[in-house]
C-alpha cells in the first residue's frame, strides 16, 4: 500500500507539472500572437513612413527655392538658364521635353503592346504563349543605360538617314527607344486583363455568328478596358520617370520647342545634370533640383491616381 500511494502521488505531481507547462506554453503563444499584428503594422508602415520622408524632404527644399524664385516665374517661364549671369528658372522647357518624349514613347508602345496582347490572349496557342511572353518580358530586364546607348549609337544614326536635319542628340530617338522599353509592360498587363475575361462571353458571341476579330474588338477589349487603360497610364508614368535613356540620347539643351528633331532636356535629365555637376549646396540652382523633383513627383502621382480612377470606373465584375 505505501508503494502504491507514492506512485499515485508522483503521478499527481507529474500531471500538475504538465498542466502548468501547458498553461505557460499557452500564455507564451498568446503573447506571441498578440505581438504579430503590431509587428505586421510596423513592417507595413515602412513604405508609408518612407513616402512621408521623401515628400517632406522635397517640400522643405522646394519651399526654400520658392523663397528665392517666384512660383509663377517657375511654372510659366520658358527659359531655363541656371548658370547664366542673370539666371532664369522656368520649368516649361523641362516639362515640354518630358511630355514630348513620353508621348513619342506611348505612340510606339501603345499600339504594339496592345496588338501583342491581343495576339497572345486571343490567337496564340498555349505553347506559343508560354514561349513568347517570357521572351517579351526579357526586354523589361534590360538596363535602361543599355537602352540609352542603343538610342544614341544605333537609332539616331539610323533616323538621320531618313531625317537629315536630325541633331546628334534629339528627343525623337530616346522617345522611340523608351516606347520599346515600355512594350512589355503594356503587353503583359493588357494580356492579363484580356485573359481574365470569361470564356463564356467569347463562346456566346461566337455562337451568335461573330468572327474571331469581332469577338476581340466588340467583346473582349471592352470587357478588359479598365486593365488596358490602366496599363497605358502606368506606361506613361514609366516614361515620365525614365532617366538614363533621355540623359544619354536627348542631350542637355533646355529648348522650349515642338520640334522633335532638336535636343531637349527632361526633368529627370536635369536632376542628373545638377546632382552630377558643380552646384554648391545652398545655392539657388541646388534648390532648383528639388523644385523640379517635386514637379516630377506630382506628375507621376497624378498619373497613378488617374490610373486608379479609370480602373474603378471601367472595371467589369464577373
Q: What is the pLDDT of residues 266-299, one digit of tens each?
A: 888 888 888 876 677 778 888 888 899 999 888 8
C-alpha angle 81/86/89, rounded to 5°? Answer: 40
Report which of 180, 154, 157, 166 is spatially closest to residue 259, judged by C-alpha positions: 166
- The more confidently predicted of residues 6 and 213 is 213
Taking the C-alpha atoms of residue 155 and residue 173, their distance in angstroms, rounded to an integer, is: 6
Among the residue ranges 89-93, 248-252, 284-288, 314-318, the one predicted with the least confidence is: 314-318
- Can you give the pLDDT at residue 3? 47
Q: Poorest-confidence range of 1-5, 34-38, 313-317?
A: 1-5
Split at pLDDT 50, 70, 90, the class of 7 is very low
Q: Give CA–CA dist 122/213, Å, rounded.
A: 9
Helical ranges in 79-209 per DSSP H:
92-118, 126-137, 144-150, 156-160, 172-195, 199-207
In 3D, which of 244, 256, 233, 113 has the Cα closest to residue 174?
244
Taking all residues of the chain, what is their mean pLDDT, rounded to a whole number? Answer: 82
pLDDT of residue 1: 47
Q: Which three cell numbers stand for residue 39?
A: 509587428
Is pLDDT above 80 for 316? no
Average pLDDT over residues 253-272: 86
For 71-127, the pLDDT digits (tens) are 888 888 888 888 777 888 888 899 998 999 999 999 999 999 999 999 888 888 888
Across the range 50-78, mean pLDDT stands at 87
Q: 84: which residues sit within 8 A by CB, 6+ positions away?
A: none
Measured CA distances, 105 to 85, 102, 110, 196, 263 (Å): 36, 5, 8, 27, 16
Cβ atoms 78, 152 nearer than 8 A? no
Amino acid at each position: 500500500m505505501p508503494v502504491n500511494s507514492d506512485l499515485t502521488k508522483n503521478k499527481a505531481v507529474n500531471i500538475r507539472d504538465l498542466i502548468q507547462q501547458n498553461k505557460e506554453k499557452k500564455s507564451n503563444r498568446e503573447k506571441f500572437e498578440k505581438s504579430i499584428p503590431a509587428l505586421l503594422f510596423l513592417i507595413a508602415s515602412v513604405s508609408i513612413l518612407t513616402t512621408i520622408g521623401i515628400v517632406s524632404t522635397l517640400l522643405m527644399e522646394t519651399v526654400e527655392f520658392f523663397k528665392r524664385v517666384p512660383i509663377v516665374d517657375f511654372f510659366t517661364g520658358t527659359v531655363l538658364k541656371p548658370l547664366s549671369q542673370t539666371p532664369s528658372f522656368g520649368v516649361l522647357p523641362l516639362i515640354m521635353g518630358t511630355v514630348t518624349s513620353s508621348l513619342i514613347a506611348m505612340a510606339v508602345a501603345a499600339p504594339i503592346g496592345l496588338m501583342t496582347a491581343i495576339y497572345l490572349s486571343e490567337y496564340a496557342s498555349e505553347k506559343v504563349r508560354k514561349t513568347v511572353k517570357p521572351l517579351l518580358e526579357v526586354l523589361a530586364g534590360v538596363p535602361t543605360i543599355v537602352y540609352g546607348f542603343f538610342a544614341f549609337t544605333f537609332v539616331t544614326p539610323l533616323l538621320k538617314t531618313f531625317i537629315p536635319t536630325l541633331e546628334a542628340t534629339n528627343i525623337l530617338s530616346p522617345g522611340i527607344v523608351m516606347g520599346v522599353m515600355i512594350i512589355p509592360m503594356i503587353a503583359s498587363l493588357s494580356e492579363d486583363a484580356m485573359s481574365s475575361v470569361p470564356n463564356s462571353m467569347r463562346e456566346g458571341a461566337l455562337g451568335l455568328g461573330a468572327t474571331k476579330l469581332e469577338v476581340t474588338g466588340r467583346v473582349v477589349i471592352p470587357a478588359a478596358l479598365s486593365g488596358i487603360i490602366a496599363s497605358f497610364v502606368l506606361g506613361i508614368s514609366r516614361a515620365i520617370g525614365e532617366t538614363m535613356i533621355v540623359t544619354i540620347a536627348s542631350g542637355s539643351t533646355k529648348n522650349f520647342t515642338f520640334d522633335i528633331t532638336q535636343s531637349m532636356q527632361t526633368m529627370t535629365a536635369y536632376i542628373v545634370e545638377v546632382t552630377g555637376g558643380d552646384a554648391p549646396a545652398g545655392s539657388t540652382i541646388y534648390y532648383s533640383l528639388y523644385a523640379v523633383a517635386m514637379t516630377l513627383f506630382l506628375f507621376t502621382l497624378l498619373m497613378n491616381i488617374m490610373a486608379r480612377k479609370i480602373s474603378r470606373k471601367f472595371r467589369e465584375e464577373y
